[in-house]
Amino acid sequence: MKKIINDPKNIVDEMATGLILAYPSLIRVPLTEKGQAIIARKNKKVGKVALVSGGGSGHEPAHAGYVGQGMLDAAVCGAIFTSPTPDTVCEAIKAVQTDKGVLLVIKNYTGDIMNFEMAMEMAELEGIKTAKVVVNDDVAVMNSTWTSGRRGIAGTVFVHKIAGAAAEAGLDLDYVQKIGERVNANVRSMGLALSPCIVPEAGKPGFILAEDELEIGLGIHGEPGVSRGKIKKADELVEELLERVLADNPIKQGEEVALIVNGLGGTPLMELFIANKATHDILVKKGIRVHQTIVGNYMTAIEMAGFSLSVLKLDAELKKFLDTKADTPAYRMFGL
């Protein structure tokens, strides 16, 4: 195992410290529990619904990279691939709460659902209004060892962006929750891996792929996918992913979409841009218009090589909030 770390037990703490040293618009919320971190906006904005998201670390820039204007108010960083505890999530809620309430954006993993919902109950007992959106955009598998139902992957970034923009505009908790749920209902994602990742404390790969082998539909923690096969050309791989994504959420000729071509941590941007070209070529042939595309590492799996595609079907309202100004370390969109 070759990693640029000190003690595996201190990774989350040192990562969080390094993050806020790089981005002075962020702060760390003090915690008594070790091995976790809460990253919040330095200048808390009142009079708006606050958004909190998070989960296990190892998916950077998710989720702390989306803390800032127009997106999240706080992100909770658990240990690598491990959900933060209910107490830590509750501390994040209390740190950013406003009189308009707090929306939690939760990826559909068993530990996250259980711990975030327990935190909501704890916050409600202290008089804090809360609501949730559970993201389950992955079309690869309906159930895994980590989930009941579909997994939440890179489509979560669209929920952060659009619900965050609605919250920044001062809309109420019910509205922000419903538009987040609408994003989730209209986004589908699927990914593939060329190589595994190594959790530092484990010190070895979570699975093994041959030099000429890939896995279709795996999860962002290395959960099994739907099939293994031989490496193919980029155009063929994109076609296979898009076919499954569009079969699950049909998009008509003339409709508009937004795309995320997401690297899993170990894929060069050169290859992601090639995948993006292939994606656009297929959508153009189908008469589907691409309104916005983002390419890069947005929801990773440590150093895993591979990528995922997320396709969001847009309507006028979703498009408006997608284009609204946001300013965070990992996502900047200043509008037209």
Question: What's the pLDDT at 293?
Answer: 97
> What gap in Å lies between CA 154 and CA 310, rounded to an integer?
7
Distance CA 192, CA 195 (A): 9
Backbone phi, psi, residue 92, to 5°:
-65, -45
Given the residues 59, 160, 280, 291, the one annotated as active site: 59
CATH fold, domain 187-333, is Hypothetical Protein Tm841; Chain: A;domain 3 (3.30.1180)
Q: For residue range 212-270, what is the model confidence (pLDDT) as tens digits?
A: 999 999 899 988 889 999 999 999 999 999 999 999 999 999 999 999 999 999 999 99
Query: Is there a catalytic annotation at residue 59?
Result: yes
Q: Identify whether 280 is a catalytic site residue.
A: no
pLDDT (tens digit per residue) in 85-132: 999 999 999 999 999 999 999 999 999 999 999 999 999 999 999 999
Contact status, residue 239 vs residue 164, Cβ threshold 8 Å:
no
The answer on pLDDT for 336 being more than 60 is no
Task: Tell me if the pTM is above 0.75.
Answer: yes
Question: 13: which 2 tokens?
Answer: 């703490």
pLDDT per position as a tens digit, 157-180? 999 999 999 999 999 999 999 999
Q: From the candidates 63, 221, 280, 291, which is the catalytic residue? A: 221
* 68-96 pLDDT tens trace: 999 999 999 999 999 999 999 999 999 99
**Cα-Cα end-to-end distance for the chain:** 45
Distance between CA atoms of residues 271 and 156, nearest Å: 22
Instruction: Scan for tokens 């992913």, then name that residue.
Output: 241
8-186 under CATH 3.40.50.10440, yes or no: yes
Which of the four pLDDT bands, split at 50, 70 and 90, describes residue 318?
very high
Query: Percent of the chain, pLDDT > 70?
Result: 98
Residue 148, pLDDT above cutoff 90: no
Domain boundaries of the chain, sorted by first residue: 8-186, 187-333
13-71 pLDDT tens trace: 999 999 999 999 999 999 988 899 999 999 999 999 999 999 999 999 999 999 999 99
CB 276 within 8 A of CB 293: yes
Phi-psi region of 277 (alpha: psi -120 to 50; beta: other; left: phi over 0): alpha
Q: Which two tokens stand for residue 83?
A: 């959900």
